[in-house]
Amino acid sequence: MLIGRAPVRISFGGGGTDLQDYYNDYGGLVLSATINKYVYGILTPNPDGHCQLISADYQRIMVGGPRTKPAAGELRLVKAVLDEFKAPYSTNVFLASEVPPGTGLGSSGAVVVNLLNILATLYAKPLSRQGIAELAYRVESGRLGAPIGKQDQYASAFGGINCIKFSRHRVYVEPLRLPEATVRRLQRNLILFFTGNSRSAWDILRAQQESTRDKAPLVLDVLHRIKHLAVEMKKALEAGDLQRFGQLLDESWQLKKHLSPIISNPLIDDAYATARLHGALGGKITGAGGGGCLVLYCEEDAQPDVRRVLRSKGLQQMEFAFEFEGARIIMNTSGPARRPEVQHERRANLLSAALPRPR
């Protein structure tokens, strides 16, 4: 048995510049942080020679072999990973997540990263964190044709608060070396709410991808400015100027809405305006937009009012903390570990600890 987990992330700035059609020509830059909300995968052998895939989040089960086509959701991701890895179809795979699907927190990328890490450990394949992130991107963009960027895979594989730079030939992950006091204050002043609307980002990202490929002047200008603001956010964090960071979040969100008319909606606009009216300095919808989670920078003295008004509008707060481990194996009974980058814990009671807490 192998149990692995991978974190989801909150993106702060630079989203959209991690699309290949942008960074190949202009270079991309994203600022993000992983949080202690995880996707989990449990892999066990199946002696009857069939493959059983179970998704707790989508409440779906697929039983079959290499030619079986799963309907949708996480099961498509699992099958694509198994196909990419040429894994034998005599396996049980169970998936569960601590966040709902479609939150904009990069859970799909985390699912693929986690499964690749599990399979690489099972077969003792020497995959680095960068190798796992690149392969995860190839699975989603190549095998599934997803119009995605690379930030989710890299964030989940590496963990931490990072500035991730994208170019035609390489991706650089630069951890932010922030004082502990800055990290604690940043975490206290960020609040996260689920809007209740799950969404697929593919329509938004596909339209943005086409506009970037066609070099639409408005889209390129907005992306250039979003990237510049992400650089300024990094400088503000490194200087400990968190108020400036919050203001930059707002500037970036106002710009991002120019990329597509479906990035925001009346519910999001109303919730965001209300939060700002009651003391939030800035924020954004995580991910491509259209729904999911709203992250806000809000000083502690204003947070009670912001929480109250957003809850009255039906938004649900999600408590979180930053995490700095990235993808890891938390239980391995298949044999001794041979990958130095993956940490293993051999405890009989880890199975229950690994599964998501009830929400």
Q: Domain spans of the chain? A: 2-332
Residue 339 pLDDT more than 50? no
Query: Tell me: the pLDDT tens digits for 91-113?
Result: 888 889 999 877 889 998 999 99
pLDDT at 86 over 90: no
What is the per-residue pLDDT for 207?
Answer: 66
User: Residues 6-27: pLDDT tens digits?
Assistant: 999 999 999 999 999 999 999 9
Residue 21: active-site member: no
Q: What is the mean pLDDT of residues 316-324?
A: 96
- pLDDT (average), residues 205-234: 84
pLDDT value of residue 122: 86
pLDDT number for residue 350: 36
Q: Report the pLDDT value the prediction gives residue 209, as an integer from 0 to 100.
A: 65
Residue 100: the pLDDT is 82
CATH for the stretch 2-332: 3.30.230.120
Percentage of the chain modeled with pLDDT above 90: 58
The answer to whether 39 touches 77, Cβ cutoff 8 Å, is no
pTM flag (> 0.85):
yes
Q: Active site residue: 18, 57, 152, 250, which one?
A: 152
- Mean model confidence pLDDT for the chain: 85
308/320 Cα distance (integer angstroms):
18
pLDDT at 334 over 50: yes
Residue among 248, 203, 211 at smallest CA distance from 227? 248
pLDDT recorded at residue 205? 65
With a cut of 80, say whether residue 340 has pLDDT above it.
no
- Secondary structure string (H, E, C) spanning the chain: CEEEEEEEEEEEECCCCCCHHHHHHHCEEEEEEEEEEEEEEEEEECCCCCEEEEECCCCEEEEECCCCCCCCCHHHHHHHHHHHHCCCCCEEEEEEECCCCCCCCCHHHHHHHHHHHHHHHHCCCCCCHHHHHHHHHHHHHHHCCCCCCCHHHHHHHHCCEEEEEECCCCEEEEECCCCHHHHHHHHHHEEEEECCCCCCCHHHHHHHHHHHHCCCHHHHHHHHHHHHHHHHHHHHHHCCCHHHHHHHHHHHHHHHCCCCCCCCCHHHHHHHHHHHHCCCCEEEECCCCCCCEEEEECCHHHHHHHHHHHHHCCCEECCCCECCCCCEEEEECCCCCCCCCCCCCCCCCHHHHHCCCCC
pLDDT interval class at 312 (50, 70, 90): very high
Using the predicted structure, report yes or no on whether residue 37 has a pLDDT greater than 70: yes
pLDDT, tens only, 156-167: 999 999 999 999
Percentage with pLDDT > 70 across the chain: 82
